[in-house]
């Protein structure tokens, strides 16, 4: 890549879109110095102070700081209450989602810690839960705040442990009901084994579908996680996390997982067994490869080069799953800077809409603005926090690139530009300077021949804007 391409590339891949002033800053610092400095800052987000205006907005969203236990106690529907009270509680639960949505979009648009926001999107999608499923509605926001966000650039093992114990995941993949059929508590909705979490843990979260596990491993892992459950009205807990281990529902026998014996019993019983199993999966070579492939696919190409995946897997193993170290290896690789991959990753609806908001220089978007973005995501088939399938939303071109979706994107780009008040409408020359060589020569020629009032919308709806 040449120097202007490198600026566009690093900003589009490590952030959710180029902001006004980013390109000028890079050119002022010198491209190579800027890229090195930018990558190091993004890998160390605490070095980038959040703007006070963003912190004030986040502080005004009280449900973000409630623990999983507090959310259950304050927002769960009491099944013993009358119908009107239950309906009022269900309506009140909408506050949790609204504040989670606002916080995610505010950070994505305004935070300078852009790689952190990119990785929140990546890891939430990897460890997907849907707020549409039962009690998960109470905990999806907390799941992002405490299980995903703190660990996105840390150790994979810590991230895996945090998601496994979070009540949102335990409910979403049904492990909260997983019970030894021979236990005294095997009754009602908890009468037997449930393999959902164990299967997805290996197939999606760690080893990968070709990771070398068997049905016997799924069954062993299912038994290891019997009794891992959540706070309910019948099952209260003093633990703020909302996680509950029900010893009377656990299978205490010895198990064999991936050829290794997991000893059952003991005072800490199934807690120790589960943590031992998660550690085994986190450090497995198949996990290193699966995670490395997904990172290379997200940051480089839908079909990433085999050599890069192998390099990243080796770094993953050598650093005990240090995500930051793996990403640094990726960003320093020759493959990441190969011109063949420039402007070739098709944006998901989430990436596309946020890149528009960032390109036009959105500052302190109103609650109405954020709700509009959410509505646009629904129209484009990617409702935030509501992906039904455990494998998350596709991060490759195929599912998103079709004529109907493109027409919707263009229409939404025009609406996004046109709904802004006159004093906040993007200045076409300034917008073109922000995007720079992200726009092809052909697109720039079309834009420059168009009436001034149409130019910003044409840029936002251009084919070039669909890619990163």
CA 342-345-347 angle, to 5 degrees, is: 130
Query: Residue 15: how many CB atoms within 10 A of its CB?
Result: 24
Measured distance CA(290)–CA(279) in Å, rounded: 16
Q: Does residue 363 sit in the same domain as residue 335? A: no
Q: Concatenated DSSP letters for 260-275? A: EEE---STTHHHHHHH
**Domain's final residue, options 170, 200, 225:** 170
Q: Does residue 394 sit in the same domain as residue 330? A: no
Query: Residue 209: how many CB atoms within 10 A of its CB?
Result: 10
Q: Does residue 353 sit in the same domain as residue 329? A: no
| Residue 445 CA: distances (Å) to CA of 9, 69, 430 | 22, 57, 16
Contact 425, 456 (CB under 8 A): yes
Residue 35 maps to a domain: no
Task: Give 299-343 pLDDT, tens digit per residue.
Answer: 999 999 999 999 999 999 999 999 999 999 999 999 999 999 999
User: For a pLDDT cut of 70, what percent of the chain falls above it?
Assistant: 100
Q: Is the pLDDT reported for residue 45 higher than 80?
A: yes
Residue 420 maps to a domain: yes
Name residues whose C-beta falls within 8 Å of residue 425's C-beta, 6 or more positions apart in sequence: 417, 456
What pLDDT, on a 0 to 100 scale, did the predictor assign at position 50? 97
Residue 307 maps to a domain: yes
Q: How confident is the model at residue 269 (pLDDT cuts 50, 70, 90)?
A: confident
Residue 1 maps to a domain: no
**Domain's final residue, options 125, 146, 170:** 170
User: What's the domain range around 305?
Assistant: 285-341
**Domain's final residue, options 148, 170, 192:** 170
Q: Does residue 302 sit in the same domain as residue 381? A: no
Q: How confident is the model at residue 120 (pLDDT cuts 50, 70, 90)?
A: very high
Q: Does residue 360 sit in the same domain as residue 335? A: no
Residue 302 maps to a domain: yes
pTM equals: 0.96
Q: Does residue 336 sit in the same domain as residue 365? A: no
Q: How confident is the model at residue 153 (pLDDT cuts 50, 70, 90)?
A: very high
If one compares 184 and 45, the residue with the highest pLDDT of the two is 45
Q: How confident is the model at residue 425 (pLDDT cuts 50, 70, 90)?
A: confident
Q: Does residue 443 sit in the same domain as residue 459? A: yes
Q: Is the pLDDT reported for residue 419 higher than 80?
A: no
Q: Does residue 55 sit in the same domain as residue 162? A: yes
What SS3 state is found at 112? coil
Q: Does residue 315 sit in the same domain as residue 352? A: no
Residue 235 maps to a domain: no
Q: Does residue 331 sit in the same domain as residue 375? A: no
Region 230-241: what's the mean pLDDT?
Answer: 92
What pLDDT, on a 0 to 100 scale, did the predictor assign at position 316? 98
Query: Using DSSP, how many helices (H) and how many strands (E) does the chain show?
Result: 23, 4
Residue 192 maps to a domain: no
Q: Does residue 293 sit in the same domain as residue 405? A: no
Residue 255 maps to a domain: no
Q: How confident is the model at residue 420 (pLDDT cuts 50, 70, 90)?
A: confident
Average pLDDT, the chain: 96
Query: Residue 332: how many CB atoms within 10 A of its CB?
Result: 12
Q: Does residue 354 sit in the same domain as residue 398? A: yes
Among the ranges given (193-197, 263-267, 426-430), the one the predictor scored with the smallest mean pLDDT: 263-267
From the number of C-beta atoms within 10 Å of its C-beta (0-12, 13-18, 19+), residue 459 rates as buried
| Residue 313 CA: distances (Å) to CA of 55, 100, 331 | 37, 33, 14
Measured distance CA(157)–CA(186) in Å, rounded: 31
What pLDDT, on a 0 to 100 scale, did the predictor assign at position 74? 95
Contact 412, 376 (CB under 8 A): yes
Contact 96, 71 (CB under 8 A): yes
What pLDDT, on a 0 to 100 scale, did the predictor assign at position 146? 98
SS3 annotation, 310-338:
HHHHHHHHHCCCEHHHHHHHHHHCCHHHC
Region 226-248: what's the mean pLDDT?
Answer: 94
Number of domains in the chain: 3
If one compares 364 and 284, the residue with the highest pLDDT of the two is 284
């Amino acid at each position: 890549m040449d120097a202007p391409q490198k600026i566009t590339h690093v900003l589009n891949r490590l952030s959710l879109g180029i902001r006004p002033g980013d390109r000028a800053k890079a050119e002022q610092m010198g491209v190579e110095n800027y890229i090195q400095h930018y990558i190091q800052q993004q890998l160390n987000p605490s070095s980038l102070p959040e703007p006070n205006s963003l912190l004030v907005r986040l502080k005004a969203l009280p449900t973000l700081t409630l623990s999983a236990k507090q959310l259950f106690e304050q927002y769960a529907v009491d099944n013993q209450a009358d119908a009107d009270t239950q309906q009022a509680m269900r309506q009140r639960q909408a506050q949790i989602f609204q504040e989670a949505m606002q916080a995610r979009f505010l950070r994505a648009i305004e935070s300078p810690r852009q790689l952190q926001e990119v990785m929140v999107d990546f890891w939430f999608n990897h460890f997907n839960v849907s707020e549409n499923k039962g009690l998960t509605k109470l905990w999806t926001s907390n799941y992002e705040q405490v299980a995903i966000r703190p660990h996105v650039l840390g150790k994979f093992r810590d991230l895996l442990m945090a998601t496994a114990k979070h009540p949102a995941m335990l409910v979403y993949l049904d492990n909260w009901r997983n019970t030894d059929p021979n236990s005294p508590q095997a009754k009602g909705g908890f009468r037997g084994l449930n393999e959902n979490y164990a299967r997805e843990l290996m197939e999606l979260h760690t080893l990968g579908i070709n990771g070398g596990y068997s049905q016997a491993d799924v069954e062993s892992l299912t038994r290891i996680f019997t009794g891992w459950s959540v706070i309910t009205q019948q099952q209260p807990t003093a633990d703020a996390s909302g996680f509950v281990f029900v010893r009377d529902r656990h299978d205490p026998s010895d198990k064999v997982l991936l050829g290794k014996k997991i000893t059952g019993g003991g005072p800490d019983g199934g807690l120790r067994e589960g943590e031992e199993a998660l550690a085994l999966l986190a450090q497995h070579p198949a996990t290193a490869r699966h995670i490395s492939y997904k990172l290379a696919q997200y940051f480089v190409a839908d079909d990433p080069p085999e050599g890069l995946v192998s390099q990243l897997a080796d770094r993953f193993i050598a650093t005990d799953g240090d995500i930051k170290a793996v990403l640094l290896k990726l960003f320093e690789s020759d493959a990441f800077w190969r011109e063949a991959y420039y402007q070739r990753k098709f944006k998901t609806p989430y990436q596309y809409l946020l890149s528009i908001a960032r390109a036009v220089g959105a500052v302190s978007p109103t609650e109405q603005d954020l709700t509009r973005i959410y509505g646009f995501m629904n129209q484009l088939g990617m409702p935030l926090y509501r992906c039904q399938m455990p494998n998350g939303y596709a991060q490759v071109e195929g599912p998103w690139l079709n004529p109907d979706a493109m027409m919707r994107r263009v229409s939404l780009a025009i609406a996004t530009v046109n709904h802004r008040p006159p004093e906040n409408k993007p200045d076409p020359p300034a917008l073109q300077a922000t995007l720079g060589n992200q726009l092809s020569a052909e697109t720039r020629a079309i834009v420059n021949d168009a009436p001034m009032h149409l130019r910003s919308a044409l840029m936002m709806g251009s084919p070039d804007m669909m890619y990163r």
